[in-house]
Amino acid sequence: MGFSRNPSFVMEPLEASSPMLNKKTTTPFHDNTPQASPKPYKKGIVATLMEAATPSFKEDNYVVSLLKSSEKKTLQELKDKILESSSTSSSSDNGGSSEVPSMWGIPLINGDDKADVILLKFLRARDFRVGDALNMLLKCLTWRKEFGADTLLEEDLGFKELEGVIAYMQGYDREGHPVCYNAYGMFKDKDMYERIFGDEEKLKKFLRWRVQVLERGIKLLHFKPGGVNSLIQVTDLKDMPKRELRVASNQILSLFQDNYPEMVARKIFINVPWYFTMLYSMFSPFLTQRTKSKFVISKEGSAAETLYKFIRPEDIPVQYGGLNRPSDLQNGPPKPASEFTVKGGERVNIQIEGIEAGATITWDIVVGGWDLEYSAEFVPNAEGSYTIAVEKPRKILANQEAIHNSFSSKEAGKMVLSVDNTSSRRKKVAAYRYVVRKCSAM
């Protein structure tokens, strides 16, 4: 560690945002701990960075009383046809007892609000055409029975090496939707590709595993009017082998479209190569406005800036500019973070004051697409004491993950975390969090 004497700190304006960390917050993470200065604003600044450039999808709230009269009538017609179909099916089975069709443990014709949510998804997917919606629903019921979808979560499909890497559920977005991450760059390795997709049987097993991941996410949904009734999908296109995964991608897409209607509120594509943007511009005229409103496309190097708009930093994986590490999941819900922006040509100092002698401060800090200089110093309160360079100034590369560090103070003072973006003109999103543990008396 390095030392300096009589430091002089220049505080640049710090734009910060986190409703969890304003003056009135009393979350366990910051109870009775020193506060960083300047104080974060109540209104989310980062959340508005890309508003103008991103289409806005308005999710159905599934409240029947708010439906148009024609939609209410269509919903009732669908219920009647399901009941009729169920009765016809049971009477043709040698007079067997009637079996009420259900999905995800929810009976579809008992008049329950949860059933209405599911039925409205099928109706919405077919523009409230009853015949088409019924046909889609009956085919889905048949597929779920043949595929064994209801017992899929109990199976061990042997894809431990893919868990948390290829496709996985992690955290929630700012509105409470569970988030599913997809990253297929791992399959650029030919040996890995052959091991997973080498023949038809292997492909079928992978598809089964991929549906299993989706079913885990659906288990987190509320299936109630006004609740969280859909997922967010984040797809990382970095290093994705296009030709090799075409068959698997098409089959996954087909399965999801046919059997999980309106289950995705937003599709976020990150690390998008130039050719994907070109292809999207070609086929987008053929998509409905509703479908296009769900798409968010982010070019390479802008993953953090895009994801911060929809997901809090503490819920975003570290490889995408967030603060969430796999090991964090073992410690319960993620600790809240403060968000701020670092303007081009700006240096930001975050001061965490009121640290007592003997206390230990632990912090995480990240700047999306770093490529700037970072340092951390401890400044004692006592006049004439030396400033301690906890982390000497160093360049943080664009692909580096969040910093996690701690420091135990021998005397009272403050910690100063600095990020220097003076060599860049680009504004960057950033986040930090900290906890101070006081020394317990012996």
Q: What are the tens digits of pLDDT across the range 208-262?
A: 999 999 999 999 999 999 999 999 999 998 888 766 667 777 788 889 989 999 9
Specify the DSSP element, H or E, that contains 17. Answer: strand 15-17
Q: Which pLDDT tens digit goes with each residue over 360-404?
A: 999 999 999 999 999 999 999 999 899 999 999 999 999 899 999
- pLDDT score, position 56: 61
Tens of pLDDT along 329-349? 677 788 999 999 999 999 999
Residue type, 334: P
How big is the CA angle at 155 (ends 208 and 203), to the nearest 5 degrees? Answer: 25
Specify the pTM.
0.83
Nearest to 329, CA basis, from 339, 342, 318: 318
Lowest mean pLDDT among 76-85, 159-168, 215-224, 401-410: 159-168
Phi then psi dihedrals of residue 404, to 5 deg: -130, 120
18, 341 Cβ separation under 8 angstroms: no
Higher-confidence position of 350 and 41: 350
Beta strand 231-236 pairing with 264-272: parallel
Residue 78 phi/psi, 5-degree rounding, is -65, -40
CA 189 → CA 358, 415, 436, distances in Å? 50, 44, 44
Residue 10, pLDDT score? 33
Instruction: Judge contact between 64 and 225, C-beta under 8 A.
Output: yes
